[in-house]
Amino acid sequence: MNSKTLSILSYVTIIGWVIAYIKNKELTPKDELVTYHLKQGFGFFILSILVNIAISIVVAIVPFLYFLSYVGIILLILWIFAIINAVNMQKKPIPVVGSMFENQFAFID
């Protein structure tokens, strides 16, 4: 697999992320583009889970805040931007949230 494919795969479900992570570990030297997108993808995955859990709890407690469920659409749009960056082989952070993940997750390096 080439670096473009691995970069895209790092955003496609956690299984895709694991495959891209393992393939990137096998490369000598590791591809910086893939490593960057692995960090962005892992951070976005964790953020998505935390946001969805928080929204589920809030909506369960206060049902009239059901409109918060539309935050999922915003996450979908950000995910599409991330995949577009991977397709274009750019090391650009995911809009709004990506800068939080750039220097995190040292185990990926």
pLDDT score at 36: 92
Query: Measuring CA to CA, which residue among 83, 78, 91 is closest to residue 33?
Result: 91
pLDDT at 16: 93
Chunked into runs of 10 residues, the chain (109 residues) has average pLDDT values of: 90 92 87 92 94 93 89 93 94 90 85
CA–CA distances in Å: residue 29 to residues 18, 35, 60, 76, 106? 18, 11, 48, 32, 16
Separation of alpha carbons 89 and 20, rounded Å: 15
What is the pLDDT at residue 28?
A: 78
Write down the pTM of the prediction. Answer: 0.88
